[in-house]
Amino acid sequence: MAKNDVSTLRIAPKIWRDGELIDWNDARIHVMTHALHYGSSVFEGIRCYPTKRGPAIFRLREHIQRLLNSAKIYRMEVNYTCEDLCQASVQVVKESGLEQCYIRPIMFRGLDEEKPTFGVNPFPNPIQCFIAAWDWGKYLGDEAVENGVDVCISSWTRITSNSLPAMAKAAANYMNSQLIKMEAIVNGFAEGIALDERGYVSEGSGENLFVVKDGEIYTPPLGSSILPGITRDSVIKIAKELGITVHETSIQRAALYVADEVFFTGTAAEITPIRSIDRIKIGLGKRGEITKKLQEVFFEIVHGKRPAPNNEKWLTYVNETHAQTANL
């Protein structure tokens, strides 16, 4: 594979940067960029799926609004509206020619090269925004969606909401996630589950978590140290439409071991069953029936084969949406 051969890597050859499309190889920042030194960036992950009507972006507006909310929490003054960034995301996908892809919008504090300033104070640094896309397969492996994954309880505690706001999808939060993920990998697991500061179940390194017991579903509440996941919200709405009771409540670690089913949700992970935790088999040690049903409905929705719950608009059809080509 040739280095930087974007067609072989199935990467969108154009990246949106502050209102214009630039070549992948031209998307560069200065080494003294504030975000590189202090983690001052917020981002999103969004999937685009193939459908009979062409590529469709899943819950685009909700993801972009969460991006803007994250920026607001960190006092990042943004010059773009939700509509601007939705249109820009559509433009990147349309220009890419990809039928399916993962979209990565990111906002960060850069560097004013004419009047550079350094230090923790972020205010003097300009805000920059990029949107990239690439074809990304199953995050936890192609077989994980059906066969499940083996995970562990991490020794690392999830960040508390009063130290780093969990409801913001900020790059700094993912240093905690990296510790969780690396520990799991070196110990032979696919993923780790973090507990919060009280010892209750929080989430994976990049996924929300659900537990099934006696036909009902349990998941940690938004008030805890979890990211308000959009796939999480989608699964809750799908479950309720199917008549399955969902409880948003604190979950003890031990409850995971005696659950009938446990699964992850997330844009990258989609809906991934967990077959063991700390080498303890969960249920029958394979994907459970409720997880399977939720997966089936979820994938029917994202591929445009079934309407979303309450007929909500969850898909943005790229070929049917006007994307601005001029600078925003």
Structure tokens at 178: 């990296």
With cut-offs at 50, 70 and 90, classify the pLDDT of residue 87. very high
Q: In terms of Cα–Cα distance, which of 193, 60, 195, 34 is closest to 127?
A: 34
**Is residue 69 helix, strand or coil?**
helix
Query: Between residues 231 and 325, which one has the greater pLDDT?
Result: 231
Report yes or no: 44 and 63 within 8 Å, Cβ to Cβ. Answer: yes
With cut-offs at 50, 70 and 90, classify the pLDDT of residue 146. confident
**Is residue 47 helix, strand or coil?**
strand
Structural domains of the chain ordered from first start: 6-134 (3.30.470.10), 144-287 (3.20.10.10)
CA distances from 78 to 113, 276, 308 (A): 19, 43, 31
What's the CA gap between 44 and 140, in Å, rounded? Answer: 18
Average pLDDT over the chain, rounded to an integer: 93
With cut-offs at 50, 70 and 90, classify the pLDDT of residue 26. very high
Report yes or no: 143 and 190 within 8 Å, Cβ to Cβ. Answer: no
Is the pLDDT at 326 greater than 70? The verdict is no
pLDDT, one tens digit per residue, over 55-70 is 999 999 999 999 999 9
Return the amino acid letter for 217: I
Structure confidence at residue 145 (pLDDT): 83
pLDDT, one tens digit per residue, over 280-307 is 999 999 999 999 999 999 999 999 999 9
Report yes or no: 70 and 42 within 8 Å, Cβ to Cβ. Answer: yes
Q: In terms of Cα–Cα distance, which of 225, 232, 228 is closest to 264?
A: 232
Q: Which residues contact 131 (CB under 8 A, 6 or more apart)?
A: 15, 16, 85, 88, 89, 92, 103, 104, 105, 106
Q: What is the 3-state secondary structure (H, E, C) of 289-310?
A: HHHHHHHHHHHHHHCCCCCCHH
With cut-offs at 50, 70 and 90, classify the pLDDT of residue 144. confident
Highest mean pLDDT among 45-49, 112-116, 146-150: 45-49
List own/partner pairs for 224-227 with CB under 8 A and 24 or more apart.
224/161, 224/166, 224/196, 224/200, 224/250, 225/158, 225/159, 225/160, 225/161, 225/166, 225/196, 225/197, 226/158, 226/166, 226/202, 227/166, 227/167, 227/169, 227/173, 227/203
Structure confidence at residue 43 (pLDDT): 98
Q: Which residues contact 311 (CB under 8 A, 6 or more apart)?
A: none
Is the pLDDT at 167 greater than 60? The verdict is yes
Mean pLDDT of 158-173: 94
**What is the residue-wise DSSP string for 2-44?**
-TT-HHHHTB-SEEEETTEEEEGGG----TT-HHHHH--EEE-
CA distances from 84 to 80, 185, 285 (A): 6, 39, 46
pLDDT, one tens digit per residue, over 233-243 is 999 999 999 99
Structure tokens at 104: 């990565």
Provide the annotated active-site residues: 169
Return the amino acid letter for 114: E
Q: In terms of Cα–Cα distance, which of 200, 88, 204 is closest to 140?
A: 204
pLDDT, one tens digit per residue, over 194-235 is 999 999 999 999 999 999 999 999 999 997 899 999 999 999
